[in-house]
């Protein structure tokens, strides 16, 4: 038989049928989906794919971008302006661009928005008894952790440029790889949905200086990952409303917490800042009855040049003094009077029924000088050890004055059925010299970040905190306290 005939009569050893082809095609499509999914969701890594809140987010905002994460600014601005999430993002960016303090131009009256009955309450459980177990969450230690930050600098439009450490060129991320571990219990990771549920129908106010603003912005960044607020404030205060939960978050600038004026008083000249140590700041007094929770702090502005006034008379000051007069109060004793004034006035206000939280002094970590005399925290990349924590008499004294003021005000609070609590961050954050911006204070690509030939460090910020960073722990403290108290 010829070779060609043998080939015609030889049966093939295998054959492919149509059903097999369909099965192979389906398998390949499924496999490609698994391979590409991480790439498509890489910008949404702020919320883990295993986080149960992801399904809740999809239910709450089915028409919004995945996870409600704000993409990079360029992508956001190029997206469709009809997308409500893009409009909200643009509002924030435009507001911050116009004014670094984000003072809103509207003068809408202070009012409470009606609660919207959405599906969120069905998915978020109220605090359990274990959540309410008493524990000193401020006593513990920093432990290494590889968990993702609550947000990234490119996923939050609230972040001030000075605290945008990655955006300002900071190359290391080791400062992100630590979490606070209380000695007696666990400090739960911040949960934005749980926070909004605990605060449902309530108003939270942050009052203080730029470090207080730092905490406010960190909270807003964390919440932005799960819900988008609407701005509705005026020049006296910054206000944001989470309408789905009827939660209002407010920030009021008050560096000293007491009334400030600039007129000439006795031998203190005009235009010098006058601190009326026995009078609460007018802005606090005006809006206090509207608040359900108040977080306040102060201390970092007290070294500035000021005159102290009591009963219309100059009783002391900082940064100046006429030596021919007797000085009754210096910066530390003046602060003691002022913090007592603020706390006593707040807890004795008959129209204020809220929870007052005093955040203790936030440590700064300048070495070799102060902020304006060559102090530095350059090169700090992980928490300090016990031996490395430097003594700070100014911080220790202010802290002791805060505790004394709380002890005095607590008596008034108890008599008036008020709640006064302390967010004690001073000791824990004395270890976190690595969490400050340092020389990475701005976006200038040509800024100096290393010591010069003369050994002097570049100008830097060792007071505020990088975002994301250790400061996010403050809002974990806050949520734990709210679960306990509300």
| H helix intervals, 41-127 | 53-60, 73-78, 84-98, 120-123
461 is a catalytic site residue = yes
Helix (H, G, I), strand (E, B) or coil at 274: strand
Rounded distance between C-alpha atoms, residue 268 and residue 417, angstroms: 41
Catalytic, out of 64, 160, 210, 333: 210
CB 187 within 8 A of CB 443: no
Is position 210 annotated as part of the catalytic site?
A: yes
Tokens of 406: 């709380």
How is residue 238 annotated by DSSP?
Answer: E
Per the residue annotation, which of 300, 401, 436, 464 is the catalytic one?
Answer: 464
Nearest to 191 by CA among 355, 356, 56: 56
Cα R_g (the chain), whole angstroms: 28
Measured in Å, how far apart are the chain's first and last C-alpha atoms? Answer: 96
355-359/419-423 β-pairing: parallel
- What angle in degrees, to the nearest 10, is found between the helix axes of 331-348 and 393-415? 20
Q: How far is CA 55 from CA 47, 58, 123, 125, 191, in A?
A: 11, 5, 10, 15, 14
How far apart are the C-alpha atoms of 107 and 275, rounded to whole Å? 28
The catalytic residues are: 210, 461, 464
């Amino acid at each position: 038989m010829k070779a060609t005939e043998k080939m015609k009569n030889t049966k093939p050893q295998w054959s492919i049928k149509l059903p097999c082809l369909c099965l192979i095609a389906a398998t390949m499509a499924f496999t490609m989906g698994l391979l590409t999914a991480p790439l498509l969701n890489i910008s949404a890594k702020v919320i883990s794919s295993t986080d149960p809140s992801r399904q809740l987010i999809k239910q709450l905002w089915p028409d919004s971008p995945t996870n409600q994460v704000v993409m990079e600014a360029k992508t956001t601005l190029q997206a469709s302006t009809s997308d409500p999430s893009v409009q909200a993002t643009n509002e924030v960016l435009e507001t911050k661009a116009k004014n670094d303090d984000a003072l809103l131009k509207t003068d809408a009256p202070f009012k409470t928005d009606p609660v919207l009955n959405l599906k969120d309450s069905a998915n978020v459980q109220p605090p359990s008894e274990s959540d309410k177990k008493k524990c000193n969450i401020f006593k513990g230690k920093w432990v290494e952790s590889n968990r993702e930050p609550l947000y990234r600098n490119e996923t939050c439009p609230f972040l001030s440029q000075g605290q945008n450490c990655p955006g300002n060129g900071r190359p290391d991320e080791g400062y992100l790889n630590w979490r606070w571990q209380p000695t007696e219990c666990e400090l739960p990771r911040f949960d934005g949905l749980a926070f909004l549920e605990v605060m449902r129908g309530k108003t939270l106010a942050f009052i203080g200086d730029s470090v207080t603003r730092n905490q406010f912005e960190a909270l807003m960044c964390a919440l932005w990952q799960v819900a988008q607020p609407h701005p509705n404030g005026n020049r006296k205060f910054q206000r944001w409303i989470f309408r789905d939960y009827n939660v209002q978050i407010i920030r009021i600038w008050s560096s000293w917490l007491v009334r400030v004026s600039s007129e000439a008083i006795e031998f203190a000249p005009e235009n010098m800042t006058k601190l009326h140590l026995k009078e609460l700041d007018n802005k606090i007094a005006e809006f206090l009855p509207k608040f359900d929770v108040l977080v306040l702090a102060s201390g970092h502005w007290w070294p500035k040049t000021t005159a102290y006034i009591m009963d219309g008379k100059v009783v002391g000051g900082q940064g100046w003094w006429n030596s021919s007069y007797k000085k009754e109060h210096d910066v530390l004793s003046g602060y003691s009077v002022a913090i007592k004034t603020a706390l006593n006035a707040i807890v004795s206000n008959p129209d204020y029924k809220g929870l007052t939280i005093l955040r203790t002094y936030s440590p700064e970590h300048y070495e070799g000088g102060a902020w304006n005399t060559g102090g530095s925290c350059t090169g700090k990349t992980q928490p300090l050890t016990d031996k490395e924590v430097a003594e700070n008499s100014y911080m220790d004294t202010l802290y002791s004055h805060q505790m004394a003021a709380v002890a005095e005000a607590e008596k008034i609070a108890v008599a008036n059925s008020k709640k006064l609590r302390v967010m004690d961050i001073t000791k824990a954050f004395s270890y976190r010299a690595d969490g400050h911006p340092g020389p990475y204070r701005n976006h200038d690509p040509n800024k100096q970040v290393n010591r010069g030939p003369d050994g002097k460090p570049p100008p830097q910020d060792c007071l505020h905190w990088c975002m994301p960073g250790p400061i996010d722990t403050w809002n974990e403290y806050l949520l734990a306290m709210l679960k306990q108290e509300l």
